[in-house]
Structure 1
Amino acid sequence: MTDTTPSEPTDDGRPAEKPVQLNDVADYDELLATHDLVLLEFVTSGCGICASMEPVLGAVARSAPGIVATVNAGLVPDLAAEFGIQSVPTLVVLRDGEEVARLDDGFQQAETLVDTLETHAVQ
């Protein structure tokens, strides 16, 4: 994956400290091949709510199980279409490659996202 932020778990198995940026479907496929639990955020350039989610996702990446990734729906339309993205931000939780939760009603608190990931980590 092409990214300027840390994207791999640390040596002790903790998740990356910042969300991984997915630039194409190949990045997505690689992410699913290496992680069982994924929080995937769909954004677009210029989306104010999406921008306000950046620090929240950073906190989630540092404290929740799984890995956090973002994808620009405008730059990776095939992936956005696969998930039927109608609005941004849309957050999708994937467990073993299957969608298990979706939050698409605007800004989300870190606590909500952490709780959602923790719920799906134990299943």
Structure 2
Amino acid sequence: MSSTESVPTEPIQLTDAADFDDLVADHAVVLVDFYADWCGPCQMMEPTIESIAAETDAAVVKVDVDVHQALASQYGVQGIPTLLVFANGELAERMVGAQTEQALTQTVAGYTA
């Protein structure tokens, strides 16, 4: 597991689906944001997602469902935004729909504490 010093302070845009498992494995806690550019609630969540990346010990990975349809399907994403929390490489939480910054911060904090 990586130390918290290596946790990026900005969201990581997934460019290659083959990197997904490594990203999840490389960090103790990872928040994955399945989104689409055309999704209004996803756009509303953007400042919150950036804040979580900057202010928590969780790595944040953004997955565009239009680009990575197979990955979205693999994780059962049927509505966006879908937010998954991975702790120690295992799926720990699933949230569908826009979330408040407080709710997301509390969820992530439960795994980074």
TM-score calculated relative to the size of structure 1:
0.82
**What's 2:35 paired with?**
43
Higher relative contact order (CA 8 A, sep 6+): 2
Q: How does 1:108-119 map to 2 (within 5 A)?
A: 108-119=99-110
Q: Aligned match of 2:61 in 46, 69, 91? A: 69
Q: Aligned match of 2:95 in 98, 103, 115? A: 103
Unpaired runs of at least 5, structure 2: none
Unpaired runs of at least 5, structure 1: 1-8
AA aligned to 1:98 is E
**Identity percentage of aligned residues:** 33
**How many residues are treated as equivalent by the alignment?**
112
Q: CA RMSD in A?
A: 1.9
Contact 2:7 2:27 in 1 (8 A): no
TM-score calculated relative to the size of structure 2:
0.89
Q: How does 1:1-123 map to 2 (within 5 A)?
A: 13=5, 15-104=7-96, 106-122=97-113
